[in-house]
Structure 1
Amino acid sequence: MFINCHSFHSLRYGTLSIEELVKQAYESGAKELVLTDINTVTGIYDFKKECEKFNIKPIPGVEVRKDGKLLYVGIARKFSGIGEINKVITGHNCDGKELSEIAPELKEVLIVYPMSNIPSELKANEYIGVRMEELNFLIRPEYERYISKMVIFHPVTFSTDEEYELHKILRAIDNNTLLSKLTKRDACRRSEYFIAEQQIVKAFERYPQIIENTKNILVECYFEFDFKEVKNKKFYTKSKEDDLKLLRRLAYSGLEKRYGLNHEIAKKRVEKELKVIDELNFCSYFLITWDIVCYSNSMGFMHVGRGSGANSIVSYCLGITDICPLELDLYFERFLNLNRKTPPDFDIDWSWQNRDTILEYIFDRYGKDHVAFCGTNVEFKYKSIFREVGKVFGLPKEELDDLTSKSMERHDQNSVVELVQRYGKLLEQFPNQRSMHACGILISEEPITNYTALEMPPKGFPIVQFDMNVAEDIGLEKFDILSQRGLGTINDTVNLIRKTRGITVDIRDTKLSKDEERSNEYLAIGRTIGCFYIESPAMRGLLRRLKCDNYRTLVAASSIIRPGVAQSGMMREYIFRHNHPDKFEYFHSIFEEHLKETYGIMVYQEDVLKIAQYFGGLSLADGDILRRAMSGKGRSIEKLREVKANFFDSCRKLGHSEPLTAEAYRQIESFAGYSFCKAHSASYAVESYQSLYLKVYYPLEFMVSVINNQGGFYRTEVYIHEAKMSGGNIQTPCVNTSEYQTTLKGADIYLGLMLLEGLETKVAHSIVEEREQNGEYRSLEDFIRRIPIGIETVQILIFIGAFRFTRKPKNELLVEARILLVNFKPEQRGLMLIEEPVQEFKLPQLKREQFEDAFDEIELIGFPISCSSFDLLKTKYRGSVFVRDLLQYHKKQVKMLAYLIARKHVPTKKGTMYFGTWIDVNGDYFDTAHFPDSLKKYDFQGGGCYLLLGTVEVDFHFPTITIHKMAKMPMIPDPRYAYDKEKQYDVHRQIKEDISMTHRKPYPQEQEIGLPRKQFK
């Protein structure tokens, strides 16, 4: 009798999970259940599975609402009816079609209208829902004629009094209003919970027709769905046979290019893979991926095929990946095997600049009716819970900020806060909104609205209403179309080299991207700032500890850097064994035989398969099940238990003792959840080498591209420092030389206008466009005539030195700008700026202090350009020890002066500790460790220069300083606001007072030198 049930997928409305909804239905005696979440089918597939556990007949539907008003409930007669409803919701979400109060013609859908929205005429498939509390209305003549078309309408939204209050809180959040201002219309009725079916039937006993109509709906409707059938586009060509022929031809064509004609091992591997791919009906999946890559290549885009897909020699031959699985002994079974129930997974990266073009191609090529992004359910998180719940209880912003910034134990306790905490706990793991999956694209054989309604997020690509786990469950395999800034940097560098030097670098040439001699030298000393994946302090430290000077070691480093590996002690053990290959014993001879490359340690996910196969006697397919289950990707606990039992039984048969088997399994278990796929690490390593090669041979072009791609571990200041260390002459923005992005002219690097805080993007582009069309600016007056601009913006450009080509001092330019722009209004521009010369004026000669420009730069860009941050300190002391000497000070105490460039906090049992990264006065990098005890007295005081006292610890060639004391060093007073000795006047302030230039705020002396207005990473 329950034909209108809401789960918490009715966002900010329902309070019951799918599991709890079905369980309560079972307890109430329901034999059939209809899920009708509001404007969504998010939960219907989980709902079907859950109902079948309790032997309840599942029926899917949708409650259609517009602006909070219930229009009607659509219940699918059969699965195709869901597609009809989905098209209605999709039309509204994506095409802006109005939801009409009367349901459209839907052949396989039964419509139930509420009493508040009865149409003038009812179609054959339409009914009116009557609640128990509305039965009294039926005696009225206007309703009596509808009785034959009425059904029982008992919505379910919550289960307890507490959940009803939670529902009201959700409604207040959704309506952005106080709980006290919520109206009855905004919330559900107090009766919307499960009661015994007999009680409902009893209430309607005077109207047997209504009871019969309801039963007929429940009998007539059903939900048949084949979860096992692949829903992806079935054929790339016209048939499975043609797909296989095309895939075979492409594979062998690529085989010849990659390996030549007589490589028998490669041929056997290709044939083996093609057989499995065909049996699992994945030919079209490979061909579609190949097609996307072909389009990318035709556009001249760089891509990286990574993830487990690089374990396939077919994907290597098709050009999807550039990792040879034979070279690295990669198992195809890690990617695809006959026992694997889950889909394959191609992860392909493009530059962040090109990804949208690739997406547009996919949507156009395969049809907008068949392509959509995966969705995600964004849950209420700690901060959003307390902010949203606190808001509906009327707490002011200051208290909301306090609640979200502290743990619950530290909250001020009062009756309102206790209520916020009580209901906040209930909201944990509740979906709050639907969003777009970062990269997962679905391409379906049938129209995708057959399975889901679509939504249109701000990004502009439609999304399905369920997440990747549901997509996987129902047979829709996603294509991961990712983007990253590292590829953008590589591509921009290659283009810049061609432009500045006339040299074409074939960066895909593996002679460049693997084991290049000078690149290996840089790698071994961790000189990798700006390089994809290998520039973080932790990675640079690992490279130095390993003296990493080759591709294979870099591949291993890319895997063991993972946090879980480090915490398990595996990374430490690997470093020791790498440096002392004769001072350890292998756990077992099988580990020595099959894991010799990694010194008997399971560094990669493929290593788990090797041990499962060779030590445990499992098949590769069962080994992959074991790996997936342990990593959390396999959701069948029963299957894990089964494979674990098989592992122990097989080891017993192979003669391994119980303790030996248990230890081997423990090692698998401790590592499987954290390990990297070897192919994934190898793909990253190739891209890292490509970046490093460009950094080694074309450092200025490379660093300019890093700056322009706005990516990486560090803030822009660090990359500018690195460019300066590489011989670049850094120039502040100039209206006659700079572009929107940073540019390179010989050894001169002109910072881009985009780096100026406060300069609008539109204005920055117009400065460049006007100059390109009509030539350089001859003067400040000429600039103001040509660019519609206000005094605040002109002021920014003057203070950064963008008019230095005029050879006029800044104070003179400020006065000139004010005279030109006095009472400036855009509509008067033409009248005011008639070609008349500006009145001649003369200022007294004003002395400009040495570091005024530096303080202007700090204010407008975030760090000094014209001098070093060390030059702005009061002290002349520059440290007793420098980075170049640290290896000589093992276990000794040192005092250093250093500039902070990054810090990372790490929670420990004793409290938070930090790792810091610094540069000394010579510009060299070093790292520090700050333990909780020292931080209590000597904590970080923001960015800037610090005096450090600590003990050097050299660990496998890599020095780290454990800090005992540190103090932030004071900087000189800002000379722009300091009075001279004769106390005549403050130059900047005098100008501002005289000409009423009050917009520009003084830069506080305590401001951190060079610290941008963003937190440290």
Structure 2
Amino acid sequence: MTAPPYPPGFTHLHVHSHFSLLGATASPAELAQQASADGLTSLALTDRDALYGAVVFDRACRAAGIRPILGMTVGVAPLSELDAGDGLGAGLLVLLATGPVGYRSLCRLSSAIQAHPDRVERSTRGLDWDTLKAHRDGLICLSGGRRGWIERHLRADNRGAAVRHAGLLAGLYDQQTWLALEVHRPEDQTIAAEIAAIGQRFGIPAVAVQPVYTLARQDRTRLKLLAAIDQNCHLDETPRRVLADGGDAAIDLHWLKPDEVAARFVATPEALQAAADIAAACQPAIPDGRPIWPALKLKPGNTPDTALAEAATAGLQRRFGQDPGAAPQARLQRELTAIAHHGFSPLFLLVADVVRYARENSIPVSTRGSVANSLVAYCIEITTVDPLEHDLLFERFLNPARRNPPDIDLDFCSRRRDRVLAYVRDTYGEEHVALVATISTMRPKSAVRATA
């Protein structure tokens, strides 16, 4: 059997999914399936400026037998006034998490990017280097290839600026820096050799990279269409800076099979090996799915289970009187046992605390969904509906066969919800609080309307 022309462990390290909103076409599941079909053992996801697809990608890779590598592509500002002058906006870096610490750094960088008030300036100017320095722990940095500052300066015949950027990266990420080489046509070998030479000056190795924005070559036209939708302009008016290829039709943006990539790096096999080495250094970054609860303020000697039982028992007497009767007490005990068995007592205590704060501060709040079926939720005043009076089944909310945490949906007055969020952050710590986006997808009719 002939050995493949690429090293074991080689994989794609610069990959975009459709979670690079209006910037790529493939779903995380499609990418994972393609990696499996090509015999890869790992795969990176490096969507632009955000981690929207991280969890979906992680699950899709695990299901396909692929080890997920989580990363992000970010734009960075030029050094001082050293803009390449090519009109392509911020220079790109590809950042890969080596584990949970790196993933936290990516989250902080993404938050800094998304918090920028001006979307256009954010994409054209990019992150400042101080922000990168503040959140670099646990990250591997790839220089960004053709859209990175180093290669762009070389193509603008400004080797001095390219060297300065390489030196800055070397100082920022130390031994975790690689210079990305892209080879799309024969003449790119010259630039690749120059980049590798600059890297040797600073002890930075080179790595072979093929940016992936689509799975198939024919999807290239869809990329330009998505960019035009994003810019709300005609196809022929789309700015070069928002096009993944910078307006150069010779640049490949689709998935290449490993042997196709290897064929482009015959002269630099060490760059292929570097991709395998980087992949090996990146370990799973997302926890295994078990809930991680923030610290609760409990009375000495109490656990979440005993604290919830005390609060629910006291609430049962408030709701039903000093002698609630055998049926309510039996129902309450059954629910408490099920909640404790699943490890969800902290969830009930947290939600009850948030609801209490809202009501004490006259902030309108209501619940939705099957949590109304829970007597425990009624007794600790999360809900206001008596499930016994309305003959509501607790098992619709939580049953022994359920693996995932139950949903307790709260609706707050939109004008005052920021006050509730501030309370949650102040009480439980910013490290334990997140805002979660809902990503909407389009059916064909809506997609045609957006295109038109």
- Which interval holds the TM-score relative to the shorter structure? 0.7 to 0.9
- Aligned partner letter, 1:93: Q
Distance change (3 Å), C-alpha of 1:43 and 1:352? closer
Query: Which of 268, 286, 292 pairs up with 2:354?
Result: 292
CA distance in 2, matches of 1:382, 1:266: 51
Look up the SS of the partner of 2:104 in the other structure. Answer: helix
CA distance in 1, matches of 2:353, 2:389: 26
Q: Which residue in 1 is equivalent to 2:15?
A: 5
The answer to whether the aligner puts 1:230 opposite 2:291 as a matched pair is: yes
Distance change (3 Å), C-alpha of 1:9 and 1:289? same
Q: Which residue in 1 is equivalent to 2:234?
A: 178
Distance change (3 Å), C-alpha of 1:223 and 1:160? same
Q: Which residue in 1 is equivalent to 2:433?
A: 371
The answer to whether the aligner puts 1:117 opposite 2:179 as a matched pair is: no
Q: Which residue in 1 is equivalent to 2:189?
A: 135
Q: Which residue in 2 is equivalent to 1:321?
A: 383
Q: Over residues 583-614 of structure 1, what are the superposed CA-to-partner deviations in whole Å (9 max), with x where a residue is unaligned?
A: xxxxxxxxxxxxxxxxxxxxxxxxxxxxxxxx
Distance change (3 Å), C-alpha of 1:304 and 1:167? closer
CA distance in 1, matches of 2:264, 2:364: 68
Gaps of at least 5 residues in structure 1 are 391-1017
The answer to whether the aligner puts 1:25 opposite 2:35 as a matched pair is: yes
- Aligned partner letter, 2:375: I
* Cα displacement (A) at 1:54: 3.0
* Cα displacement (A) at 1:101: 5.7
1:277, 1:283 within 8 Å by CA — same for their partners in 2?
A: yes
- Aligned partner letter, 1:131: E
CA distance in 2, matches of 1:107, 1:273: 43
Q: Which residue in 2 is equivalent to 1:14?
A: 24
Distance change (3 Å), C-alpha of 1:159 and 1:295? closer
Query: Which of 99, 119, 133 pairs up with 1:78?
Result: 99
Look up the SS of the partner of 2:220 in the other structure. Answer: helix
Distance change (3 Å), C-alpha of 1:75 and 1:312? same
Q: How does 1:880-899 map to 2 (within 5 A)?
A: none
The answer to whether the aligner puts 1:341 opposite 2:420 as a matched pair is: no
Gaps of at least 5 residues in structure 2 are 1-10, 77-87, 151-164, 246-250
Distance change (3 Å), C-alpha of 1:93 and 1:314? same
Structure number with higher relative contact order (C-alpha < 8 Å, ≥ 6 residues apart): 2
1:26, 1:54 within 8 Å by CA — same for their partners in 2?
A: yes
Q: Which residue in 2 is equivalent to 1:91?
A: 112
* Cα displacement (A) at 1:383: 6.8
Q: How does 1:176-325 map to 2 (within 5 A)?
A: 176-182=232-238, 184-189=240-245, 190-223=251-284, 225-233=286-294, 235-237=296-298, 241-262=302-323, 263-300=325-362, 303-325=365-387
1:28, 1:194 within 8 Å by CA — same for their partners in 2?
A: no
The answer to whether the aligner puts 1:59 opposite 2:31 as a matched pair is: no
Q: Which residue in 2 is equivalent to 1:167?
A: 223
* Cα displacement (A) at 1:191: 0.9
Look up the SS of the partner of 1:180 in the other structure. Answer: helix
* Cα displacement (A) at 1:253: 1.6
CA distance in 2, matches of 1:139, 1:306: 61
Distance change (3 Å), C-alpha of 1:179 and 1:282? same
2:216, 2:255 within 8 Å by CA — same for their partners in 1?
A: no
- Aligned partner letter, 2:269: P
Q: How does 1:358-757 map to 2 (within 5 A)?
A: 358-380=420-442, 385-390=447-452
- Aligned partner letter, 2:349: L
Distance change (3 Å), C-alpha of 1:203 and 1:321? closer
The answer to whether the aligner puts 1:155 opposite 2:211 as a matched pair is: yes
* Cα displacement (A) at 1:3: 0.7
CA distance in 2, matches of 1:267, 1:69: 63
Aligned length: 389
* Cα displacement (A) at 1:20: 1.8
Look up the SS of the partner of 2:317 in the other structure. Answer: helix
2:365, 2:410 within 8 Å by CA — same for their partners in 1?
A: yes
- Aligned partner letter, 1:249: E
2:319, 2:379 within 8 Å by CA — same for their partners in 1?
A: yes
- Aligned partner letter, 1:291: D
Distance change (3 Å), C-alpha of 1:259 and 1:184? closer
Distance change (3 Å), C-alpha of 1:222 and 1:259? same
CA distance in 2, matches of 1:49, 1:299: 40
* Cα displacement (A) at 1:185: 4.3
Distance change (3 Å), C-alpha of 1:138 and 1:166? closer
1:39, 1:63 within 8 Å by CA — same for their partners in 2?
A: yes
Q: Which residue in 2 is equivalent to 1:548?
A: none
Distance change (3 Å), C-alpha of 1:176 and 1:340? same
CA distance in 2, matches of 1:252, 1:362: 26
CA distance in 2, matches of 1:295, 1:88: 31
Distance change (3 Å), C-alpha of 1:277 and 1:172? same
* Cα displacement (A) at 1:353: 6.1
If each structure's strand is expressed as a fraction of its own residues, which one has the higher value? 1
Look up the SS of the partner of 2:23 in the other structure. Answer: coil
Q: Over residues 943-997 of structure 1, what are the superposed CA-to-partner deviations in whole Å (9 max), with x where a residue is unaligned?
A: xxxxxxxxxxxxxxxxxxxxxxxxxxxxxxxxxxxxxxxxxxxxxxxxxxxxxxx
- Aligned partner letter, 1:113: S
* Cα displacement (A) at 1:62: 0.5
1:71, 1:117 within 8 Å by CA — same for their partners in 2?
A: yes
* Cα displacement (A) at 1:277: 1.6
Q: Over residues 232-267 of structure 1, what are the superposed CA-to-partner deviations in whole Å (9 max), with x where a residue is unaligned?
A: 436453899432332222222222222223322222
Distance change (3 Å), C-alpha of 1:157 and 1:278? same
Q: Over residues 357-410 of structure 1, what are the superposed CA-to-partner deviations in whole Å (9 max), with x where a residue is unaligned?
A: 4444334433344323321113346676345423xxxxxxxxxxxxxxxxxxxx
Identity across matched positions, percent: 27
* Cα displacement (A) at 1:72: 0.4
Distance change (3 Å), C-alpha of 1:111 and 1:348? closer
2:139, 2:176 within 8 Å by CA — same for their partners in 1?
A: yes
Q: Which residue in 2 is equivalent to 1:859?
A: none
Look up the SS of the partner of 1:342 in the other structure. Answer: coil
Q: Over residues 642-685 of structure 1, what are the superposed CA-to-partner deviations in whole Å (9 max), with x where a residue is unaligned?
A: xxxxxxxxxxxxxxxxxxxxxxxxxxxxxxxxxxxxxxxxxxxx
Q: Which residue in 1 is equivalent to 2:138?
A: 108
Q: Which residue in 1 is equivalent to 2:80?
A: none
- Aligned partner letter, 2:55: Y
Look up the SS of the partner of 2:213 in the other structure. Answer: coil
* Cα displacement (A) at 1:317: 1.7
* Cα displacement (A) at 1:330: 2.2
* Cα displacement (A) at 1:36: 0.7
* Cα displacement (A) at 1:126: 0.7
